[in-house]
Amino acid sequence: MMTPPSVSGAEGLTDLLHRSIPLTAAMALELQAYDVRSLSLKLPLQPNRNDKGCAFGGSLASALTLAGWSLATLALVEAGLQGEVFVAESTLRYLLPVWSDCVACARLAEDASWDRALRALRQRGRGRIHLQAEILLPDGRIAASMQARYALLAPGQAATA
């Protein structure tokens, strides 16, 4: 089992992504903004285009998943916890083609609570968090959306999950 290198906070997230998940370097993903409730990743069109010249659906799905993973990973760091983050399930909808650079934004789902998820991780070694993510076009329209549940596992739990 590979444990991702630690990250000291939002400043190191792009480097962590590129070192730990090589696909993110090829996609040229970069952290754009972060606070404890939301996170945005820049997704340039050029390395993520398909044969039609618009964004490849797999790149959009990856960016959405990675935005959620990044938000959950930084939440663990800020809480002073070690653990692993896995996407457990997701539902994705493609709404519009993407013909330009865009942004993948993740945030807590309406019914989600970091306090509840992190308490479960501390007490049982497992927690879960529901997140929402969207691909935003430069004009603010939503090109794709995702609802997802992420598993938070204490060190050692991931090997048995």
Q: Which residues contact 160 (CB under 8 A, 6 or more apart)?
A: none
Q: What is the pLDDT of residue 50?
A: 97
Q: Which residues contact 21 (CB under 8 A, 6 or more apart)?
A: 66
Average pLDDT, integer, range 123-148:
97
Within 10 angstroms of residue 147's Cβ, the number of other Cβ atoms is: 16
Domain contains 1 = no
Domain contains 161 = no
Q: What is the pLDDT of residue 12?
A: 86
* Contact status, residue 102 vs residue 135, Cβ threshold 8 Å: yes
Q: What is the pLDDT of residue 1?
A: 29
Domain assignment of residue 96, given as a range: 10-153
Domain contains 142 = yes
Q: Read off the pLDDT of residues 100-134 as tens digits, 9 standing for 90 and up.
A: 999 999 999 999 999 999 999 999 999 999 999 99
Q: How many domains does the chain have?
A: 1
pTM for the model stands at 0.91
Q: What is the pLDDT of residue 161?
A: 52
The pLDDT-based confidence of 10 (bands split at 50, 70, 90) is low
E-strand ranges in the chain read: 30-35, 38-43, 84-94, 102-108, 126-136, 142-153
Domain contains 14 = yes
Greater model confidence, 2 or 150: 150
CATH value at residue 143: 3.10.129.10
23's tokens:
């696909």
Domain contains 133 = yes
Domain contains 2 = no
